[in-house]
Amino acid sequence: MRSFPLFLAFLALAACSEPSERSYAVDELVADKGLLAELIKNCRNNPGELRNTVNCRNAEAADGELRLEQMRRSLGG
């Protein structure tokens, strides 16, 4: 019976916590250039807070992959 109040306390804390932002994989961002552009814009507008987030790191990696792919195509490879 003692564990029931503890369970309610954990439940209340979980209900009050902020929902986490969805994390996007590099492949998802490469496929969705609009989402990639939005994430990069947000990350570059607030680098102090967002630089080390998963989405910003993945957006930079996806942007790098797209740039390399574009260079390969322009060089005929």
CA–CA gap between residue 8 and residue 12 (Å, rounded): 6
> Average pLDDT for consecutive 10-residue bins of the chain (77 residues)?
68 63 94 96 93 95 96 89
Rounded to two decimals, what is the model's pTM?
0.71
In the chain, domain spans: 23-77
Predicted pLDDT at 10 = 66
Which DSSP string corresponds to 9-61?
Answer: HHHHHHHHSPPPPPP--HHHHHH-HHHHHHHHHHHHH-HHHHTTSHHHHHHHH
Q: How far is CA 69 from CA 8, 54, 74, in A?
A: 52, 22, 9
Predicted pLDDT at 18 = 62
